Structure 1
Amino acid sequence: MSEPPSRSSSQFPVLETQRLLLRETSLADAPVLFAIHADADAMRWFGTEPLPDEQAAQKVIEGWATARTLANPGIRWGIERRADRRLIGTCGMFRWNRQWRACMVGYELARDAWGQGFMREALLAVLGFGFVQMQLNRVEAQVHPDNLASLKLVERLGFVREGLLREAGWWGGQAQDLVQLSLLRREQRVVVL
Structure 2
Amino acid sequence: MSSEFPVLHTPRLVLRELVAGDAPALFAIHADAAAMRWFGADPPASVMQVEQLIAAFAAARLQATPATRWGVVRRSDGALLGSCGLFRWNRSWQSAGVGYELARSAQGQGLMSEAVKAVLQHGRLSLQLERVDATVHPDNAPSIALLERLGFVREGLLRQAGRWGGARHDLLVFGLLLNGPSTSTAHA
Q: How many angstroms does 1:137 deviate by?
A: 1.0
* Residue 177 in structure 1 maps to residue 170 in structure 2: yes
Q: Secondary structure at the match of 1:123?
A: helix
What displacement does 1:99 show? 1.1
Distance 1:25 1:71, change over 3 A: same
User: Which blocks of at least 5 consecutive residues in structure 1 are unaligned?
Assistant: 1-8, 189-193
Pairwise mapping of residues 103-118 of structure 1 onto structure 2 (< 5 A)?
103-118=96-111
Count of aligned positions: 180
Q: Structure 2 length as normaliser, TM-score? A: 0.93
- What one-letter code is carried by the residue in structure 2 that aligns with 1:111? R
Name the amino acid aligned to 1:164. Answer: L
Tell me which residue corresponds to 1:86: 79
Q: Which one-letter code corresponds to 1:119 in the other structure?
A: M
Aligned position for 2:156? 163
Indicate the RMSD between aligned Cα atoms, in angstroms: 1.2
Overall identity of the aligned pairs, in %:
57
Aligned twin of 2:11: 18
TM-score between both structures, scaled by the size of structure 1:
0.91
Aligned equivalent of 1:44, options 37, 42, 45 = 37
> How do residues 126-137 of structure 1 correspond to structure 2 at under 5 angstroms?
126-137=119-130
Between the aligned partners of 2:12 and 2:130, the Cα distance in structure 1 is 27
The CA distance in 2 between the partners of 1:61 and 1:99, in whole Å, is: 27
Runs of 4+ in structure 1 off by over 4 angstroms are none
Are residue 65 (structure 1) and residue 63 (structure 2) matched?
no
Task: Mark the runs of 5 or more structure 2 residues left unpaired by the alignment.
Answer: 184-188
